[in-house]
Structure 1
């Protein structure tokens, strides 16, 4: 029965293996490293609670906005290039449109003539109605624009150029 386990009938004695050579320092090092060598690679973490997951837009979008989740992502080939950005969008009376748009122009220090000279820093206009991504308070709905925190508005302003694709979904 060489090479097979045999249980001792004497109480307190352990299982023995016939023909087992004494364990040396080199053998101990190999055995200690063996579990690491066979460990499976780490898997990416699951999406956080709330299920933000991947941006819900086509691979062609340079920025993706999900109005129902109140989030936006800068994207490259359909993959987010950073964390989701919290947004505020239009009210039911002045909704933010859904669809695919192209960035038309950018204005670092835009002031709205239509809405009482409201400051709209880091404006990136995406439709013919004057709607834009811009920095502003997210405590209330906009008149159809996508409002972002200042650092996020700066990132969107820096990343997008005229002609870049904007996708807005609900």
Structure 2
């Protein structure tokens, strides 16, 4: 993924349009009640393709553990519908925060968990935790389980170095 623009098209257009108007006009526009009304982001459970995700705009994949949802994202916008996930148990939780994709293995087998298959593994930490296809009805040992079709899509979309954000 990693297609983030440092300066958005919207910001470039705004600068091009507002520059000839002058500073006084810009501050008058900024003071209008409509300019002060911030758009409201949808609740995480309602986020779908084209909606803002509940992570920063640098995330290539956004995970909301409280909602059991994940999204592929570009510039803070979901590039597809929400994916149902399961995560770690209270005894073996999924870590939160920002990290990057470290490696990918299409046919990984767990060394820590009785040779359990972990198809479409995308590792995001040094402890062996990964996004992968798995049972989305129960908890994991700290990994993010996805339905098989979603795991394939995430595996295809993410590259090593892409940003992973996991929030509670």
TM over 0.5: yes
- C-alpha change, 1:147 and 1:49, in structure 2 (3 Å) is closer
How far has the Cα of 1:140 moved from its partner? 1.0
Match of 2:83 in 1: 85
Whether 1:58 aligns to 2:56 is yes
User: Gaps spanning 5+ residues in structure 1: where?
Assistant: 1-45
Q: Number of matched residues? A: 125
Whether 1:73 aligns to 2:91 is no
Q: Distance in 1 between matches of 2:164 and 2:89?
A: 20
Q: Distance in 2 between matches of 1:123 and 1:133?
A: 6
How far has the Cα of 1:54 moved from its partner? 3.0
Match of 1:159 in 2: 157
User: Gaps spanning 5+ residues in structure 2: where?
Assistant: 1-40
State the superposition RMSD in angstroms. Answer: 1.8
How far has the Cα of 1:87 moved from its partner? 0.1
Q: Deviations over 1:94-133 (max 9, x none)?
A: 0000000110000000000110000000000000110000
Equivalent residue for 1:128, pick from 126, 129, 137: 126
Give the alignment of 1:1-170 within 5 angstroms: 50-52=45-47, 54-170=52-168
- Structure showing greater radius of gyration is 1
User: How high is the TM-score relative to the length of structure 1?
Assistant: 0.70
Q: Deviations over 1:32-51 (max 9, x none)?
A: xxxxxxxxxxxxxx969954
- C-alpha change, 1:130 and 1:48, in structure 2 (3 Å) is closer
SS at match of 1:74: strand
How far has the Cα of 1:88 moved from its partner? 0.3
SS at match of 2:70: strand
Q: Distance in 2 between matches of 1:49 and 1:131?
A: 23
Q: Distance in 2 between matches of 1:169 and 1:49?
A: 11
Give runs of ≥4 in structure 1 deviating > 6 Å. Answer: none
- C-alpha change, 1:119 and 1:60, in structure 2 (3 Å) is same
Give the helix-richer structure, 1 or 2. 2
SS at match of 2:165: strand
User: How high is the TM-score relative to the length of structure 2?
Assistant: 0.71
CA contact (8 A) 2:61 2:164 kept: yes
SS at match of 1:60: coil
CA contact (8 A) 2:44 2:64 kept: no
Q: Distance in 2 between matches of 1:150 and 1:49?
A: 22
